Amino acid sequence: MSVTSEVLNVQLRDRTGTAASVRLRRTGMVPAVLYGHGEANRHLAIPGDQVATAIRNHSKTVTLQGAISDTALVSNVQFDHLGIRVLHLDLIRVNLKEKVEVEVPISLLGDSVGVRNGGMLLENMHSVTVRCPAGEIPESLSVDVSDLDLDQQRIAGELELPAGVELVTPPESVITHVEKPRGQVEGEPVAEETEQAEPAAE
C-alpha cells in the first residue's frame, strides 16, 4: 500500500531567518522551503495541524495548494529537542511518476519460533532505502519472521517489494536476528529455577 499524499494549504512568507521563524511558529504555522527542478526556492508557511497529520500518517509526498500548486517530496523534517513539535520542513518538487530514493520503515510479521525456544529477537534495522516512483512509495515493507529460529537472521534482500520498488540498501544487510540468551550453552535448554532457597537461619 502506498503512503497517503496529504494536502497542505500553503502561504508564501517574505521574511526568513530565526526571529521570523519563531514569530511564525507562535501563530501555529510551520516554516518550510520548497526547492528543486531547477526552479527558484520558495519560502512557505504551513498550518501546524496539517503538518502534524502528514507526519503522523508517514506521508512521503504532499500536495501543495493555496499560494502554490505543486507536488512535493518531504525531504527533511526538523523537530524540537523533545522530538515532538515540527520546527521546519524541507520539500522537493517532484513529478509523481519520477523515481526518488526514500527511507521506508520495516514491519516484522509473525511470532519467531526462536523466541518461543527462549531466544531474543533483535532488530538491526528499522528502515531501508528504496527507489520507486514518487507516487508509489510504500507505507512499509514487511518480512515474515515466523520460522526464524535461534542464530538465524533475515536480510534486506528477503523483504517483500511491491512492483516498481527497487531496493537500494545492500541486500545482505541484516534486518533482524535471534540470539541465544547470554550464558546459555549450545544445545542446552533454557535454565529453570529448580533449587529452593534455603530457609533463613534462626
For 129, list phi and psi in degrees, rounded to 5.
-100, 130
- Domains of the chain in sequence order: 6-94 (2.40.240.10), 100-179 (2.170.120.20)
The C-alpha atoms of residue 2 and residue 74 are separated, in whole angstroms, by 15
Q: Tens digit of pLDDT for each residue in 153-201? A: 999 999 989 999 999 999 999 999 999 887 655 555 544 444 444 554 4
Residues 6+ apart with CB under 8 A from 186: 180
Output the nine-digit C-alpha cell for 143.
518480512
For the chain, 202 residues long, give each residue's pLDDT as a single digit of tens: 555 578 999 999 988 899 999 999 999 999 999 999 889 999 999 999 999 999 988 888 999 999 999 999 999 999 999 988 999 999 999 998 999 999 999 999 999 999 999 999 999 999 999 999 998 999 899 999 999 999 999 999 999 899 999 999 999 999 999 998 876 555 555 444 444 445 544 4
Amino acid at 195: E
